[in-house]
Amino acid sequence: MLGNFSYCNPAKLYFGDQSLDYLNTELPKYGKNVVLIYGGGSIKKNGIYDDVIKILEAQGKNVAEIAGVMPNPTLAKLYEGIEIARKHQADLILAVGGGSVCDYAKAVSVSVNCEEDPWEKYFVRFEEPSCETLPVGCVLTMAGTGSEMNAGCVITNQETKQKIGHVFADEKIIPRFAILNPRYTMTLPHRQMVAGIYDIFNHICEQYFSGEDDNTSDYISEGLMRSVLHASRIANKNPQDYEARSNLMWTATWALNTLIAKGKSTDWMVHMLGQAVGAYTNATHGMTLAAVS
């Protein structure tokens, strides 16, 4: 292991097909005003929305919603979310969805109490928050980005055709808790599952193929890559295989919670090129990574 580093990841994870029950454990830790963030409405079709709302109501929460978060969250959508969260005087942001929804929730979190323009501050100058941030919790419905256990977020500026990610240094930006139920990923279209799988694998590669050092992080990466290959072959043939989907979900989290980057220089050029393509085409993130690779 080369260099000096610190590692702290405060996210609390609840994993398994009964993990949503633990939302009852987490919600009492926060104030009554919750902003619920989700995407295009699939969680209403598959019943996840109703399950989450039932728990929120039972916990006496006052809920405002930000719906329609797109796969590549836009700056315009971020401005909309900031206003809703401010008006609601949010105490907690709860993201229910995939990585884009989790990313978006973190972007709202660091922007609600900030007077400066979030695009200029966070995605042009890459500054850290100089204001109070809001806590974020996640109920994950897609395996891929690892956003449920890191401090990164990606926003697309449609006017300038820029898709930029910012991995914040402040550990408070990492979701306070994340609920990972592999069954929630089983309703995804096949193409989205495949895109998520490649996203996982590329996250590992970006950290593995860098520098000439030989360290423990590399061997952890190799184990994660083996897991992705094994589980993805099974899931591709049978998307309803719980063990395969659970292994993909768990690997996705560990692929990008920065653990395997320790002692490494890392690369991320494939991501930079893939995001540039995505800014112009609005293509699925995992598919742009596959094409660039």
**Does 271 fall in a domain?**
yes
**Does 5 fall in a domain?**
no
| Residue 1 in this model has a pLDDT that exceeds 80 | no
Q: Are residues 167 and 224 in the same domain?
A: no
Q: Are residues 170 and 193 in the same domain?
A: no
Q: Are residues 163 and 192 in the same domain?
A: no
**Does 261 fall in a domain?**
yes
Average confidence score pLDDT of the chain: 95
**Does 118 fall in a domain?**
yes
**Does 70 fall in a domain?**
yes
Q: Are residues 137 and 197 in the same domain?
A: no
Segment 90-101 shows an average pLDDT of 97
Q: Are residues 175 and 218 in the same domain?
A: no
Per-residue confidence (pLDDT) for residue 214, from 0 to 100: 76
- Provide, rounded to the nearest whole percent, the portion of the chain with pLDDT above 70: 100
Q: Are residues 25 and 148 in the same domain?
A: yes
Segment 60-66 shows an average pLDDT of 98
| Residue 179 in this model has a pLDDT that exceeds 90 | yes
Q: Are residues 178 and 194 in the same domain?
A: no
- Provide, rounded to the nearest whole percent, the portion of the chain with pLDDT above 90: 91
| Residue 285 in this model has a pLDDT that exceeds 80 | yes
| Residue 213 in this model has a pLDDT that exceeds 90 | no
Q: Are residues 162 and 229 in the same domain?
A: no
**Does 214 fall in a domain?**
yes
Segment 238-243 shows an average pLDDT of 97
Q: What is the CATH number of the domain that holds 203?
A: 1.20.1090.10
Q: Mind listing the pLDDT tens digit for each residue in 244-254? A: 999 999 999 99
Q: How confident is the model at residue 27 (pLDDT cuts 50, 70, 90)?
A: very high
Q: Can you give the residue range of the structural domain that contains 194?
A: 188-292
Last residue of a domain, one of 142, 163, 184: 184
Q: How confident is the model at residue 60 (pLDDT cuts 50, 70, 90)?
A: very high
Last residue of a domain, one of 184, 217, 235: 184
d(CA 257, CA 180): 15
Q: Are residues 178 and 279 in the same domain?
A: no
Per-residue confidence (pLDDT) for residue 40, from 0 to 100: 87
Per-residue confidence (pLDDT) for residue 201, from 0 to 100: 97
Per-residue confidence (pLDDT) for residue 134, from 0 to 100: 98
| Residue 86 in this model has a pLDDT that exceeds 90 | yes
Per-residue confidence (pLDDT) for residue 289, from 0 to 100: 94
Segment 257-270 shows an average pLDDT of 92
Q: How confident is the model at residue 74 (pLDDT cuts 50, 70, 90)?
A: very high
**Does 3 fall in a domain?**
no
**Does 262 fall in a domain?**
yes
Q: Are residues 231 and 269 in the same domain?
A: yes
Per-residue confidence (pLDDT) for residue 41, from 0 to 100: 85
Last residue of a domain, one of 184, 217, 238: 184
Give me the number of domains the chain comprises.
2
Per-residue confidence (pLDDT) for residue 198, from 0 to 100: 96
